[in-house]
Chains A and B, each alone.
Chain A
């Protein structure tokens, strides 16, 4: 029978198939973990006297409550936020006690969990990958089945390397045509979420397909899959191809030598068969997509940077959202004042994002009164950017350059946006208070973020691109 990519990966991991009464027991090939969603799971193990079953398939990093200033990482200054310090320290103790490999604070490979998995070659086609983090969907860019779980399930995977799961429905998002210059993968996924809706993907695993997707680099594919959860889907997948294999080849935890050849041969089978059907299909014309930005308090509330905030009379929730944002229905979004610009996160904290940012900043200055924070997704991204001299471009423009971490994507590590301030952010969530109490987030691509930093106003990056 013809199968979708999702069904192939699912079938290969069923330890016990599902029945009417019981979900499937699904084997997990890679369990990534971080300091915020694991403490209660480690406690559960301790209470029940259980070990981590497969320490060889478990991998830990610190990112969420981890600070990003150099003094707190390398300068011997203790983590300033006491609650975060306690959590980071307990995580290190937990990993040591349960023999889980951890990239500690000063490790040169540490970074945001969804950046380092691919970077180290841990993320591979056909794997089942979970993490106590909703943006685990990122890893689906490699043709893995990757999704976020809660802390109780983190405990299940620690103890049994398995999860109880019901099979999801499938959705194909077919994207055709070339993206215009200045239009990025971030604009594409914002446009897709706008089309599908923030709950349109609920219960589904998305497969992104079509010529546009095939033409994307791995880093761009990760940006797309990363935000699948913002359409309500737990996972997004892209079939592996030569782009995928070229990215992975030679990475330290990828198969090497003869094992590599064997692996690639197997991975080539991981495509949706001709004639396989999806529960739902959506068509997207990539040629019509423009630079996008959000104006409201969920990622579906987006418009073109050249567009106007919609008018929706009689919609109280919509009105409340605009009131929170301090924006008016019908106003042009371009030209709106900006206080902070954040480039980073697991959506847009990779090297290509930093190169794009530098392309706009080079030879220019961040507008007076605007704070621009550039946070690499991992220490390896940081060193690669520095090898290209990007840090000098950022410094000359007046932007801050930090150590890796989640930083301003969420307000729990000391990097926050103040109440009432506007932040053009390359992260993935513009929920109320996400970047700090009362913060106002406008999600956009690194190009749009950088252009807005230069002018101090929401700006279409194409006006600054040579």
Chain B
């Protein structure tokens, strides 16, 4: 995972509410067995016509959106399926942060594990971002601050451990594997009461 400390980027705005993970990456692309290359299918049904040609009116197909790392989305982005393919696709495409007033739980979790920073802001900040697409913003994960072009700095919450992992580009597996002794002790004291899945 790529560490995140500071991002400077223009924003892409997709103001629709409840953008679900079936839109971010439709199910028919989930037969892949790797994480790579999903950026090409990001928002496939909004982005391409039936012949596979990019639709000029879709935001990601417009010249101003190219190279942007920050996606500003309507309330409750990432609802629906738990598919981690959604953040994989966003990251593969080039996004590093998603900003909204509400972000669905599983999507938020999955994003944090893949170097995609979910940023929850207040309604007023969100309204400003939606009204000013393409704004140059600064994401400072060290200080949990979103910097707007007028110099305003908006604080956003990030779970402490996930923040640590993102700042350092480490994943949680190493930490969990280090808990081996505690896990073994737990298994020894509780294991007998649990019925096994095997007959």
Contact = CB atoms under 8 A, between A and B. Distances in A.
A310 interface: no
Contact of B23 (A37, A419, A431): A431
A101 B196 CA distance: 12
B171 interface: yes
B124 interface: no
A25 B179 contact: yes
A119 to B, nearest CB: 13
A434 interface: yes
A422 B22 CA distance: 18
Interface stretch (B4-12, B55-63, B137-145, B182-190): B182-190
B179 A16 contact: yes
Contacts of A283: none
B198 A56 contact: yes
Interface string B174-199: 01110110110011001001111111
B114 interface: yes
B82 to A, nearest CB: 4
B82 A40 contact: no
Contacts of B79: 198-199, 232, 298
Contacts of A153: 109, 113
Interface in A3-32: 12, 15-16, 20-23, 25, 27, 29-30
Contacts of B135: none
Contact of B104 (A132, A202, A320): A202
A82 to B, nearest CB: 9
B118 to A, nearest CB: 12
A36 B30 contact: yes
B123 interface: no
B197 A161 contact: no
Nearest to A18: B161
A110 to B, nearest CB: 15
Given A164-B175, A166-B159, A199 B104 contact: yes
B53 interface: no
Contacts of A90: 33
Contacts of B76: 198-199, 202, 232
18 contacts: A21-B164, A50-B177, A64-B30, A87-B31, A148-B82, A149-B106, A156-B176, A199-B18, A199-B76, A253-B195, A317-B18, A320-B16, A429-B81, A431-B22, A432-B45, A433-B23, A434-B22, A438-B45
